[in-house]
Amino acid sequence: MDSVNGAVWVLVLPFALAAVALLAAAANAALDGRTRGVSTTSGWVAPLQESARLLRQQRRTLPGADSLLWRIGGAGLVVAAVLKVLVVPFGGFTFADLSVGLVWFNAMDVLLWALWWLLGWGANSAWSLVGGYRFLAQALSYELPLMFALTAPAIGAGSLRLLDIQDAQSGLWFVVWMPVAFLVFAASVVAFSSWGPFQTATGRDAAGGVIGELSGVDRLVVLAGRYMILVAGAAFSVPLFFGGGSGPWLPAGVWVVIKTLAVVALLLTVRRLFPTLRPERLAEVALVLIMPLVLVQVAVAAVIVVVNGGAL
């Protein structure tokens, strides 16, 4: 694709990502609504209604709030989500063909450590700060397994470039022989979005945590950014584990979107099977149980690559 076309698509990208995030939020609200006996339609429109309400709401700031850092934390979530999708290949086309695309994704998810904490810090509220520190405590548990889970596809393809990783799966998708790496990656996506079972940073038991003091458009940006990160993580799993744009009949770019939506649907469904996990409990699970499992996964992948002389 030529550079002019790419420049146009890069302008479309944030809005497309926001649209998919809205779709995910709507589906989630519909599922939530169904368990409470609300009609499915009012579930689907709930995020739109909430957006309209927040847009009209007056912005509220506590005295002594560090507004600069607070706003950076909120807007940064959206920016980090877009920066993650920049390296995702849509078939042969990618916005930024970095030779270290995988490390780029890792750097962006570490950026979320800073952003969630800044959100908690900036509000000048004790509960928000508790939420920020909860996120960091959780991050210490998920980040190491995530880094090793990211290592597995890189070993399989022998490259850190996303296009190479995608192309290495022409024979067999990595998810087939790296299932543990995919599960850890998917759980980490949910964790760095502070969503689902890993939402203690925004938990009701801490009066909303990092989002407790947010109001108006600030709150809207953070809630949207959270779903955008979730969708960006799901999109990133496609070149890593699901063969990128490979698929019959349709163009590769469309397949990437379809697979992303499938992974998001998976996350929305599986989320309901797990209770919220407190960070101090997660630490032991992640470091005593998950870490050895994911290390074995990396070792198995490495042995397969050496014996087979490349990806399966």
Partner 1 sequence: MSVVLFWFFSIVAVASAAAVFIVNSMARASYALALSFIAVGAIIVQLELDYIGVITILMMVMEMAIMAVFMVMYMGMNPALMPMDMRHNKHRSAIIAVFVFVLLAAGALLIPWPERMGVPAANVTASLGESLMGSKMLVMLVISPVLFATIIASLVLANPRGRYDRRGDNLDRRGADGRSEPEDPIRGGLGR
- 3-class SS of residue 185: helix
Distance between the two ends of the chain, CA-based, in angstroms? Answer: 30
Q: How far is the CB of 164 from partner 1 (least distance, A)?
A: 12
Question: Which of 190, 66, 69, 214 shows the shortest CA–CA distance to 127?
Answer: 214
Q: Distance from CA of residue 292 to its chain's centroid?
A: 23
Alpha carbon distance 198, 194 (integer Å): 5
Does residue number 305 form part of the binding site for partner 1 (CB under 8 A)?
no
Does residue number 68 form part of the binding site for partner 1 (CB under 8 A)?
yes
CB 146, CB 158: distance < 8 Å: no
Does residue number 118 form part of the binding site for partner 1 (CB under 8 A)?
yes
Which region, judged by CB under 8 A, interacts with partner 1, from 40-48, 172-180, 252-260, 274-282?
274-282
Which region, judged by CB under 8 A, interacts with partner 1, from 98-106, 179-187, 205-213, 248-256?
98-106
Alpha carbon distance 3, 7 (integer Å): 6
Which region, judged by CB under 8 A, interacts with partner 1, from 33-41, 262-270, 276-284, 304-312?
276-284
> Judged by CB under 8 A, which of 22, 26, 111, 217 binds partner 1?
111
Q: Which is nearer to partner 1, 289 or 306 (CB)?
A: 289
Encoded tokens for 23:
């779709």
- 3-class SS of residue 158: coil
> Judged by CB under 8 A, which of 13, 31, 110, 305 binds partner 1?
110
Strand partners of residue 93: 90
> Judged by CB under 8 A, which of 13, 103, 257, 262 binds partner 1?
103
Does residue number 133 form part of the binding site for partner 1 (CB under 8 A)?
yes
> Judged by CB under 8 A, which of 281, 292, 303, 306 binds partner 1?
281
> Judged by CB under 8 A, which of 90, 95, 117, 142 binds partner 1?
117
> Judged by CB under 8 A, which of 4, 11, 288, 307 binds partner 1?
288
Site size toward partner 1 (CB under 8 A) is 32
> Judged by CB under 8 A, which of 136, 257, 262, 270 binds partner 1?
136
Does residue number 99 form part of the binding site for partner 1 (CB under 8 A)?
yes
Encoded tokens for 231:
């969708």
> Judged by CB under 8 A, which of 172, 204, 280, 306 binds partner 1?
280
* 176-197: burial string, b at 16+ Cβ within 10 Å, e else: ebbebbbbbbbbbbbbbbbbbb
**DSSP H stretches of helix in 158-215:** 162-167, 174-177, 179-192
Alpha carbon distance 270, 211 (integer Å): 24
Report CA torsion sign: 209, 212, 218, 221: positive
Contact letters for partner 1, residues 19-38 (x by CB under 8 A)? --------------------
* 134-157: burial string, b at 16+ Cβ within 10 Å, e else: bbebbbebbbbbbbbbbbbbbbbb
Interface contacts to partner 1, rule CB under 8 A: 66, 68-69, 98-100, 103-104, 106-107, 110-111, 113-114, 117-118, 121, 133, 136-137, 139, 143, 160, 277, 280-285, 288-289
